[in-house]
Amino acid sequence: MRIHSLTDWPPELQAAARGESGASRYLCPACNGGRSRELSLTCAPEYFSGFAIAKCWRASCGYFAKVPLDPSAKIGTPQFKPRFFEGELASQGDAVRLLMPYNIGVPALEAFNIRSVVGKDAVYMPAYGPAGQERGGMLRYFDGTQPKAVSYKATDQPWQAWLSSRISSAPCVAGSWVTPLSRCSA
Ligand SMILES: [Zn+2]
């Protein structure tokens, strides 16, 4: 969890953090509510701790911040910029063919919701947090594109994919997932 300064937030969130806003939901500063710009953020003071808590309830974002209510208690500034994959995904498509040489079969593709990218020799695997919330994903090219692996982090929360118990109980780090996954599912 990163702690930001209250003054880094837009004015409406600063008011919410001080308990001076009548609204119950706000525009998330990390994802801007996605394409529909939904008001997905809750933000309220937590007087016993002296912090304001903001949380985005969009599963694909998951922004969370705990900010000191005392503006002079400046602890840090946010560096994180969320990045979303915008390409078109096929249901499973060419992923079977692309991952066959790595001994990654249909059960693993289904367990991890691995999908191919329309028009490209590439596959995309979403990264999940321990409670199952999507936190972005990893794109892996098989057509020589460099870099061959690109991460799309939608949150500054810890970022791992967790293996389904159907495959293995061991966690799998998403950063370079093809090789670990081929071992797990072999
Ligand atoms: Zn958000």
For every residue of 78-111, DSSP letters joined together read ---------S-B-SSTTHHHHHGGGT--HHHHHH
- Within the chain, strands assigned E span 41-46, 51-56, 64-68, 115-116, 122-128, 134-141, 149-153
- pTM of the predicted structure, to 2 decimals: 0.50
Mean pLDDT (the chain) is: 79
pLDDT in tens, 41-98: 999 998 888 889 999 999 888 888 888 888 676 555 556 788 888 889 998 878 999 9
- Looking at residue 172, the DSSP 8-state letter turns out to be B
Give the pLDDT mean for 143-169. 67
Residue 138: both structure tokens together: 């990893």
How many angstroms does the Cα of residue 40 sit away from the middle of ligand 1?
Answer: 6
Q: Pick the residue with more confidence: 62 or 15? A: 15
Show me where the domains of the chain are located: 6-68, 95-185
Q: How confident is the model at residue 134 (pLDDT cuts 50, 70, 90)?
A: confident
Residue 89, phi then psi, degrees to nearest 5: -105, 140
Residue 21: both structure tokens together: 């806003």
How many angstroms does the Cα of residue 36 sit away from the middle of ligand 1?
Answer: 12
pLDDT score at 151: 84
pLDDT in tens, 167-184: 443 434 444 566 666 665
Q: How confident is the model at residue 163 (pLDDT cuts 50, 70, 90)?
A: very low
How many angstroms does the Cα of residue 65 sit away from the middle of ligand 1?
Answer: 11
How many angstroms does the Cα of residue 106 sit away from the middle of ligand 1?
Answer: 32
**pLDDT > 90? residue 27:** yes
pLDDT score at 68: 86
**pLDDT > 90? residue 123:** yes
- Looking at residue 175, the DSSP 8-state letter turns out to be G
With 0-12 CB in 10 A as exposed, 13-18 as middle and 19+ as buried, what is 95? buried
Instruction: Give all strands of the β-sheet with 41-46 in edge-to-edge order.
Output: 41-46, 51-56, 64-68
